């Protein structure tokens, strides 16, 4: 009888509702760059995502303030893949509210330890692979000025982002630390390598289809053309100048850490000087 009475007065288990989980995800999805600055990066966006969870798990304002102190720490990662960290901390905060031996330092240690590796994975998969693939397909659909390419990119990218991020959020919440193994384990590495290879092939195809660098340089002796440089290059390797310029841009951005804007300005200078000396200008001959 005493045991039954003891069970009856036990504190009920606190559980984050589906409504709050949905609100937390949407706060991160739409506001991960809230009040973005070089000092805080995604810190305030993270706090906005955790606020509805904290409000539901803790009753008093003092407890809520104390819990929110955890998320004042600096945070920055790739927003799409990094969604799994937000889901994990929601699960950790739920466990903490139910008396699990977790504190703010433990939560921040996990956040700080994951944001760097997940940022690298996200940048390579999302920014370096998925987006170029979608843009390559969109460019092909935009031939002749068709708006289908732009519509395709907007619709497909947003669908992938919404459902992909929602899946990662739920995965982090349900699996906790095991979600990280799914993202960075051996099988995940094999998938990333395969996707990266596909992205490289697509980028190469886009470069060959949409970038055309040709020279108009010819050497003429009277009425006899001694050298037509473009024809000579085409006999050796068709598209050699195009491949050279693409590799040059890649080298400047990856090896010399130049921004895309600087690289574009350099290309403008090269184009101007090339036309000035007759390398690109068909009106000038030597």
Residue ending a domain, among 205, 220, 253, is 205
Q: Are residues 30 and 155 in the same domain?
A: yes
Same domain, 51 and 135: yes
How do residues 28-82 score in pLDDT, each as one tens digit? 999 888 888 878 888 899 999 999 999 988 888 888 888 888 888 888 888 998 8
Quote the pTM value: 0.64
The pLDDT assigned to 151 comes to 93
Residues 201 and 220 in one domain: no
Domain membership of residue 130 (yes or no) is yes
- On whether residue 229 sits in a domain, the answer given is yes
Of 190, 205, 220, which residue is a domain's last? Answer: 205
Residue 283 covered by a domain: no
154 pLDDT band (50/70/90 cuts)? very high
* 126 and 62 in a common domain: yes
Closest C-alpha among 54, 59, 57, 49 to residue 25: 49
Structural domain ending residue among the three candidates 156, 182, 205: 205
Q: Which domain holds residue 272?
A: 212-277
Do the domain assignments include residue 6?
no
Amino acid 202: pLDDT: 65
Residues 103-146: pLDDT tens digits? Answer: 777 777 778 878 887 887 888 788 878 888 888 888 878 877 88
36 plus 91 within the same structural domain: yes
194 and 224 fall within a common domain: no
Categorize the per-residue pLDDT at 188 as very low, low, confident or very high, splitting at 50, 70 and 90: low
Does residue 9 lie in a domain region? no
């Amino acid at each position: 009888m005493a045991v039954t009475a003891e069970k009856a007065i036990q504190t009920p288990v606190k559980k984050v509702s589906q409504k709050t989980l949905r609100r937390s995800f949407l706060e991160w999805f739409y506001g991960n760059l809230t009040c973005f600055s070089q000092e805080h990066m995604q810190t305030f966006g993270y706090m906005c995502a955790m606020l509805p969870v904290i409000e539901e798990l803790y009753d008093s304002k003092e407890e809520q303030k104390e819990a929110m102190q955890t998320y004042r720490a600096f945070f920055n990662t790739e927003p799409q893949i990094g969604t799994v960290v937000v889901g994990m901390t929601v699960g950790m905060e739920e466990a903490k509210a139910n008396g699990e031996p977790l504190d703010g330092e433990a939560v921040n240690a996990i956040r700080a330890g994951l944001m760097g590796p997940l940022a690298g994975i996200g940048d390579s998969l999302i920014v370096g692979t998925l987006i170029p693939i979608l843009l390559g397909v969109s460019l092909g659909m935009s031939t002749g000025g068709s708006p289908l390419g732009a519509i395709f990119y907007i619709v497909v990218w947003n669908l992938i982002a919404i459902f992909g991020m929602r899946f990662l959020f739920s995965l982090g919440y349900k699996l906790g630390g095991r979600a990280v193994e799914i993202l960075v384990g051996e099988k995940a590495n094999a998938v990333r390598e395969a996707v990266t290879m596909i992205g490289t092939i697509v980028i190469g195809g886009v470069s060959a289809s949409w970038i055309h660098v040709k020279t108009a340089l010819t050497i003429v002796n009277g009425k006899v053309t001694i050298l037509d440089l473009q024809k000579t290059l085409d006999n050796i390797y068709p598209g050699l100048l195009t491949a050279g310029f693409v590799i040059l841009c890649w080298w400047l951005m990856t090896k010399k850490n130049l921004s895309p804007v600087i690289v574009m300005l350099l290309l403008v200078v090269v184009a101007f000087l090339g036309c000035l000396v007759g390398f690109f200008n068909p009106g000038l001959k030597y």
